[in-house]
Each structure stands twice: as C-alpha cells, then as structure tokens.
Amino acid sequence: MLASFTPKKQLVAVKIMQKSPDKNNFNIMMKEARVLSVARGSTFLCHSYAAFQSEVILLLIAYHLFKGNLAFK
C-alpha cells in the first residue's frame, strides 16, 4: 500500500501483515522488522520509518522505491 507523509511531502510504502497464532509466522514478521531496523543506516538498503501493531495486524512503514520491485521475476 502507498501512503503520503505530509510533513516531508513524500510517499511511503506501507506493508500490512496479518498476525496469526502460528509461531513460524510470528518469527518471520519479527525477522523482517529487525532487518528493516538494522538496514536503517545503510546507503544500499531500503530504510524503514516506523512499525505499528494492533491485536490482528502489523504495519511496517518504509521508504517508497519508485518503480521498485523487491519480488523475484
């Protein structure tokens, strides 16, 4: 999902992940959040801005890569 960050007048990427009782799913989500946190200082990796959670979802907010696609083709 794409959102706008008004104070800086820029677009940000929002990744929404559904929580589940599956322990493996939890580990994958936490690993992704940690990787984004560690990558914050890198000039070669996507930067994260924030992470939010509710009882059922986890939201990761990151720099929007214009015309970027992280999926393998």
Per-residue pLDDT of the chain (73 residues; tens, 9 = 90+): 788 877 778 888 898 999 888 888 888 888 888 888 888 778 887 778 888 889 999 898 887 877 666 564 4
b/e burial code for range 12-50 (CB count within 10 A of at least 16 → b): bbbbeeeeeeeeeeeeebeebbeebeeeeeeeeebebee
Q: For residue 44, what are the CA distances in angstroms to 7, 11, 41?
A: 25, 19, 9
What is the pTM for the complete model shown? 0.68
Q: Where are the domains of the chain?
A: 2-63
What CATH number does domain 2-63 carry, 3.20.20.70, 3.40.190.10, 3.40.630.70, 3.30.200.20?
3.30.200.20
